[in-house]
Amino acid sequence: MNAQTENLPANTNNYTRNIDSEDYNADILNELLRKEINKYRTKQKADTLTFEIILKNAADDQTVFMAQTMNATYEQSGEKSTTGKRIVFYGGSDNGDELVAKMPINKGNEIYTYGKVADDIMFKWLSDKKGLLVLNDPKYMFFGIGSALDAEHNKVYVSVVFGNYSSFNAGSTRSKELAIPFTTKKYGLERFDDKICKGCDKFRNIENLQKGLYVKEGDIYFKYNNFKALNKLLKDPSDGLVVDVVQRLQYPCEGENIINNNLVNKGVMIKRFKATKFEKKNLVKDTKEQKNKVEVLIGKLPKGITDNYELNLLIVIGNKVCRTISPSFDESGGVEYSNVIELLADTVVTGESEYIPTTENSTLEFIIPFEKNKFTYKPEDIEPLIKKLKEPDFIIKDLSIYAYSSIEGTDETNKILQKNRAESIVEALKFRQKHKIVYKITTGDNIEDFKRDIQGTEFNNMANMLISEIQEYIRKNNLAEKLEPILQQHRYSKITMKITYDIEGKKEQAFVLSRFNKSVKENNLIRALSVQKFIFRKVLKKEYTAEAVTGQEIPETPEFAGLLLNKLWLSGLLMNKLWLEKYINNDDINEEYCDKITALHNMAPDNFYITYNWYYCRILHEEFKDDKNIVDFQKEISDLYSTGLKKQTVDLLNMELQYKIIQYLDTLGTPSPLLLASFDTIRSISKLTEANWQNSLKLAYIFVNLKDYEFAANLLEPYIISDNPYDELIFSYIVICSHLPYKFGSPRFFLAMNKAKDLDKERYCKLFNKDKLTIQAFENTKVKEVYCKICSDKK
Reported as a single tens digit per residue, the pLDDT across 330-346 is: 876 544 444 556 677 77
| Residue 369 structural domain | 361-502
Q: Given phi > 0 = left and psi -120 to 50 = alpha, else beta, which region is 504? A: beta
Residue 474 vs residues 234, 389, 393, 406: alpha-carbon distances, Å: 76, 37, 45, 12
Is residue 499 over pLDDT 90? no
Phi, psi of 493 (to 5 degrees): -120, 135
Q: pLDDT confidence of 351, banded at 50, 70, 90? A: low
In angstroms and rounded to an integer, the radius of gyration of the C-alpha atoms of the chain is 39
Spatial contact of 743 and 737, defined as CB atoms under 8 Å apart: yes
Is residue 795 over pLDDT 50? no
Residue where a domain terminates, one of 167, 192, 216: 167
What average pLDDT does the segment 343-369 reach?
A: 77
Mode of pairing for the β-strands spanning 438-445 and 394-405: parallel
Q: pLDDT confidence of 1, banded at 50, 70, 90? A: very low
Closest CA to 346 of 549, 538, 567, 517: 567
Spatial contact of 213 and 243, defined as CB atoms under 8 Å apart: yes
Instruction: Point out the least confidently predicted range of 191-195, 352-356, 448-452.
Output: 352-356
pLDDT value for 573: 53
Closest CA to 565 of 519, 612, 600: 600
pLDDT value for 689: 63
pLDDT value for 668: 52
pLDDT value for 670: 58
Beta-sheet strand order (sheet of 213-216): 213-216, 219-224, 294-300
Q: Which long-range contacts (CB under 8 A, 24 or more apart) does 301-308 make?
A: 301/215, 301/218, 301/219, 301/220, 301/245, 302/180, 302/245, 302/268, 302/270, 303/180, 304/179, 304/180, 305/180, 305/245, 305/247, 305/268, 306/218, 308/247, 308/248, 308/249
Rounded Cα–Cα distance for residues 695 and 729 (Å): 11
Spatial contact of 51 and 3, defined as CB atoms under 8 Å apart: yes
Is residue 790 over pLDDT 90? yes
Query: Would you give the DSSP letter of residue 18?
Result: B
Asked whether residue 370 falls in the same domain as residue 313, the answer is no
Is residue 578 over pLDDT 60? no
Instruction: Point out the least confidently predicted range of 148-162, 189-203, 230-244.
Output: 189-203
What's the CATH number where 476 sits?
Answer: 3.30.1330.60
What is the amino acid identity at position 427? E
What's the CATH number where 84 sits?
Answer: 3.40.33.10
Residue 200 vs residues 684, 708, 748: alpha-carbon distances, Å: 33, 15, 27
In this prediction, what percent of the chain has a pLDDT beyond 70? 91
Asked whether residue 158 falls in the same domain as residue 16, the answer is yes
Spatial contact of 379 and 431, defined as CB atoms under 8 Å apart: yes
Side-chain-facing half-sphere of 94: CA atoms under 13 Å = 12
Asked whether residue 125 falls in the same domain as residue 231, the answer is no
pLDDT value for 679: 78
pLDDT value for 724: 72
In order, the DSSP letters of 89-106 are HTTB-S--EEEEEEEESE
- Looking at every residue in the chain, the average pLDDT score rounds to 87
Spatial contact of 192 and 322, defined as CB atoms under 8 Å apart: yes
371 located within any domain: yes
Is residue 282 over pLDDT 70? yes
Asked whether residue 189 falls in the same domain as residue 233, the answer is yes
Nearest-5° angle of CA 554, CA 556, CA 558? 110
Rounded Cα–Cα distance for residues 768 and 764 (Å): 8
Other C-beta atoms within 10 Å of 737: how many?
Answer: 23
Reported as a single tens digit per residue, the pLDDT across 435-494 is: 888 888 887 777 888 888 888 888 888 888 888 888 888 889 888 888 888 888 887 888
CB burial of residue 231 (10 Å; 0-12, 13-18, 19+): middle
Nearest-5° angle of CA 412, CA 418, CA 422? 150
CA-CA-CA-CA torsion sign (70, 74, 75, 76): positive
590 located within any domain: no
Rounded Cα–Cα distance for residues 656 and 650 (Å): 10
Question: How many whole angstroms from its chain centre is CA 148?
Answer: 50
Asked whether residue 316 falls in the same domain as residue 297, the answer is yes
Spatial contact of 777 and 771, defined as CB atoms under 8 Å apart: no
Q: pLDDT confidence of 715, banded at 50, 70, 90? A: confident
Q: Global pTM?
A: 0.67
Reported as a single tens digit per residue, the pLDDT across 311-328 is: 999 999 999 999 999 999
Asked whether residue 309 falls in the same domain as residue 379, the answer is no
Closest CA to 138 of 158, 162, 161, 121: 162
Spatial contact of 36 and 116, defined as CB atoms under 8 Å apart: no
**Helices 129-136 and 114-126 sit at what angle, rounded to 10 degrees?**
100
Residue where a domain terminates, one of 118, 142, 167: 167
Beta strands in 52-164 (DSSP E): 97-104, 106-107, 110-111, 142-149, 155-163
27 located within any domain: yes
Residue where a domain terminates, one of 305, 325, 345: 325
Asked whether residue 271 falls in the same domain as residue 390, the answer is no
What average pLDDT does the segment 729-755 reach?
A: 94
The separation between the first and the last C-alpha atoms of the chain, rounded to the nearest angstrom, is: 21
Reported as a single tens digit per residue, the pLDDT across 607-655 is: 898 999 999 989 888 888 888 999 999 999 999 999 988 898 898 899 8
In the chain, DSSP finds a helix count (H) and a strand count (E) of 28, 18
411 located within any domain: yes
Instruction: Point out the least confidently predicted range of 164-178, 524-538, 663-677, 711-725.
Output: 663-677
Question: How many whole angstroms from its chain centre is CA 587?
Answer: 3
Is residue 738 over pLDDT 90? yes
Asked whether residue 484 falls in the same domain as residue 436, the answer is yes
Count of domains for the chain: 3
Q: Which long-range contacts (CB under 8 A, 24 or more apart) does 545-554 make?
A: 545/509, 546/574, 546/579, 547/509, 547/513, 548/509, 548/512, 548/513, 549/573, 549/574, 550/574, 551/513, 551/517, 552/513, 552/516, 552/517, 552/520, 553/517, 553/520, 553/521, 554/520
Q: pLDDT confidence of 671, banded at 50, 70, 90? A: low
Phi, psi of 620 (to 5 degrees): -70, -35
Rounded Cα–Cα distance for residues 166 and 140 (Å): 10
Asked whether residue 162 falls in the same domain as residue 26, the answer is yes
Closest CA to 742 of 140, 329, 297, 327: 140
Q: Spell out a b/e string for 186-199, using b for 16 or more CB atoms within 10 Å of the CB, else e.
A: eeebeeeeeeebeb
Is residue 533 over pLDDT 50? yes
Is residue 192 over pLDDT 70? yes
What is the amino acid identity at position 374? K
Spatial contact of 26 and 7, defined as CB atoms under 8 Å apart: no
Other C-beta atoms within 10 Å of 282: how many?
Answer: 16
What average pLDDT does the segment 567-579 reach?
A: 59
Q: pLDDT confidence of 572, banded at 50, 70, 90? A: low
pLDDT value for 10: 46
pLDDT value for 414: 64
The three-state secondary structure class of 214 is strand
Torsion of CA 340, 345, 350, 354, to 10 degrees: -90
702 located within any domain: no
Asked whether residue 190 falls in the same domain as residue 155, the answer is no
Phi, psi of 292 (to 5 degrees): -120, -20
Residue 674, C-beta contacts closer than 8 angstroms, at least 6 positions apart: 627, 630, 631, 661, 665
pLDDT value for 4: 42
628 located within any domain: no
Reported as a single tens digit per residue, the pLDDT across 5-46 is: 444 444 558 889 999 988 999 999 999 999 999 999 999 888
Asked whether residue 137 falls in the same domain as residue 174, the answer is no
Residue 608 vs residues 344, 542, 645, 656: alpha-carbon distances, Å: 10, 28, 8, 17
368 located within any domain: yes
561 located within any domain: no
Asked whether residue 314 falls in the same domain as residue 176, the answer is yes
Q: pLDDT confidence of 582, banded at 50, 70, 90? A: very low
Q: pLDDT confidence of 291, banded at 50, 70, 90? A: confident
pLDDT value for 289: 84
Rounded Cα–Cα distance for residues 299 and 218 (Å): 9
